[in-house]
């Protein structure tokens, strides 16, 4: 029995993880965010109503589910409160069933200023971050100087530590980056009322999860970002600052691998990437227009246009290995409706030597590859909202079958629209 399920992105984020987490959490008791922060944007569409979550786990829309923001997540208290209020405006009351880890690092004003200052200085070499302070907050954690949620519980100590850290940041912001400074007293003044709001939610979330496991409860672990934005396995330096692959789920929660019963990788039926960095199958033609418009490919966090491309099965195979995936979920199949032909990239060649290369390692290697494609006939029928595999057009079924053949792993879920119910459950993953 697949009791605990992990949902991970297999591309560069925005694969539709939020929708899938929302769908499968209806059969679970807990839903957990494990890494990343409010750089994530997970979109849920329920009865035509669109809700975008950045920090709060997507399964929390089911009102009998308990949400956890675990120790691996970098938390901006202000953005957390904003999101709780946004949900309340939708009649979803999260506060009493949402717990945040006392060990989670905090994102504060100086992280955001540093993120912005760094990107500005990088100029044409900018990463294209979301500007949410994610990188600097994780740097503080690794450097062992960061403030954590538990530090909010002692005002005197908090004030002292803040003064020290802000002093350190202001040196860099002003002297090196020629950026504006920040004032620790203002940060503290704003923080104190926020502490009152989140106080009761602060817990040892690892302990809560271990108790849930002991009580035989079902847990859904929600990945953020995608495998190739991973700090170790992604297209470095054009990555985010956390482990977005399976290791991030384990270190980010304190739950060991034997309790992760099923690891599902979510992939779009094509590819997108927001921000800078390598993207071998990127398109710049009318197909980009089609995918962009039909798929509404604009960032849910920053509103930026997402770059689009064909599905890259070479990278997908890599993601399957890195994450030990049990199966795949394909989303946005309906976006391919109406195309004359569809391509998937099945290998890479080196531009100069025209020899096959298994997988590029450096940014320079990435610049020197050309994708080799297999081409399929498209379909004219509408797949939007289809709920049974047998109702898909033959060409769509063949497309899915070929991906399964190459990746040697089964596609257990097919998403056919943004609505919660637009979905083909090929296999009941909870059984």
Binders of Mg ion in range 313-342 (CB under 5 A): none
**69 - beta bridge partners?**
33, 100
Is residue 296 a contact point for ligand GDP (CB under 6 A)? yes
Q: List the binding residues for GTP.
A: 13-19, 41-43, 306, 332-334, 415-417
Establish if 57 lies at the interface with ligand IMO (CB under 6 A): no
Find residue 411's DSSP bridge partners: 328
Count other Cβ atoms within 10 Å, centred on residue 69: 24
Q: Is 141 a catalytic residue?
A: yes
* C-beta of 178 vs 296, nearer to ligand GDP: 296
Q: What share of the chain is helix, strand, coil (3-state, %, to 5)?
A: 40, 20, 40
DSSP H helices, 33-144, are 77-89, 109-122, 134-142
Residue choice 246, 418, 424, 429 for contact with ligand GDP (CB under 6 A) = 418
| Minimum distance, C-beta of residue 49 to ligand GDP, in the bound complex (Å) | 11
Rule CB under 6 A: is residue 14 a binding residue for ligand IMO?
A: yes
C-beta separation of 344 from 373 below 8 A: yes
x/- map, 273-302, Mg ion, by CB under 5 A:
---------------------------x--
The verdict on 267 binding ligand GDP (CB under 6 A) reads no
Contact pattern for ligand IMO over residues 199 through 238, marking x by CB under 6 A: -------------------------xxx--x---------
Closest CA to 156 of 129, 126, 188, 181: 188
- Alpha helices, H only, 229-283: 246-251
Q: Does 67 bind ligand GDP (CB under 6 A)?
A: no
- Contact criterion met (CB below 8 Å) for 375 and 395: no
Q: Does 309 sit near ligand IMO (CB under 6 A)?
A: no
Binders in 204-233 for ligand GDP, by CB under 6 A: none
Nearer to ligand GDP, 14 or 140 (CB): 14
Out of 10, 240, 292, 383, which residue is the one contacting ligand IMO (CB under 6 A)? 240
Q: Does 127 bind ligand IMO (CB under 6 A)?
A: yes
Q: Mind giving me the DSSP string for 199-239?
A: GGGEE-HHHHHHHHHHTT--EEEE--S-GGG-TTTSSTTSS
273 close to 14: Cβ distance less than 8 angstroms: no
Which parts of this chain interact with ligand GDP (CB under 6 A)? 9, 13-19, 41-43, 45, 296, 300, 331-332, 334-335, 415-418, 422
């Amino acid at each position: 029995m697949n009791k605990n399920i992990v949902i991970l992105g297999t591309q560069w984020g925005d694969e539709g993880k939020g929708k899938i987490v929302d769908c499968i959490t209806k059969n679970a008791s807990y839903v957990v965010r494990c890494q990343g922060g409010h750089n994530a944007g997970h979109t849920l569409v329920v009865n035509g109503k669109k809700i975008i979550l950045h920090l709060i786990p997507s399964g929390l829309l089911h009102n009998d589910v308990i949400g956890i923001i675990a120790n691996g997540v970098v938390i901006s208290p202000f953005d957390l409160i904003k999101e709780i209020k946004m949900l309340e405006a939708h009649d979803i009351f999260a506060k009493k069933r949402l717990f945040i880890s006392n060990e989670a690092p905090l994102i504060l004003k100086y992280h955001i200023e540093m993120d912005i200052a760094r990107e500005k200085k990088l100029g044409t070499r900018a990463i294209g971050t979301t500007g949410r302070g994610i990188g600097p907050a994780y740097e503080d954690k690794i450097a062992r100087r960061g403030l954590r949620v538990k530090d909010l519980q002692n005002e005197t100590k908090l004030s002292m530590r803040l003064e020290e850290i802000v002093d350190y940041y202001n040196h860099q912001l002003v002297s090196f980056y020629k950026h504006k400074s920040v004032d620790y007293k203002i940060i503290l003044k704003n923080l104190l009322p926020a502490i009152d709001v989140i106080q009761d939610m602060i817990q040892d979330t690892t302990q809560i999860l271990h108790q849930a496991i002991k009580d035989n409860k079902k847990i859904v672990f929600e990945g953020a970002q995608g495998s190739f934005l991973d700090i170790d396995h992604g297209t470095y330096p054009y990555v985010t600052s956390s482990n977005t692959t399976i290791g991030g789920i384990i270190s980010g929660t304190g739950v060991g691998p034997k309790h992760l019963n099923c690891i599902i990788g979510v992939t779009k039926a094509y590819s997108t990437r927001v921000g800078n960095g390598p993207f071998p199958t990127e398109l710049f033609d009318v197909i980009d227009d089609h995918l962009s418009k039909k798929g509404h490919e604009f960032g849910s966090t920053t509103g930026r246009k997402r770059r689009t491309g064909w599905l890259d099965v070479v990278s997908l195979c890599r993601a399957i290995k890195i994450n030990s995936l049990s199966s795949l979920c394909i989303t946005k199949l309906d976006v391919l409706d109406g195309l004359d032909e569809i391509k998937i990239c099945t290998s890479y060649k080196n531009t100069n030597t025209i020899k096959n290369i298994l997988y590029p390692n450096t940014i320079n290697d990435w610049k020197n590859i050309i994708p080799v494609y297999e081409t399929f006939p498209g379909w004219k029928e509408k797949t939007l909202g289809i709920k049974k595999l047998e109702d898909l057009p033959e060409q769509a079924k063949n497309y899915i079958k070929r991906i399964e053949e190459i990746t040697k792993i089964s596609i257990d879920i097919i998403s056919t629209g943004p609505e919660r119910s637009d979905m083909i459950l090929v296999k009941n993953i909870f059984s």
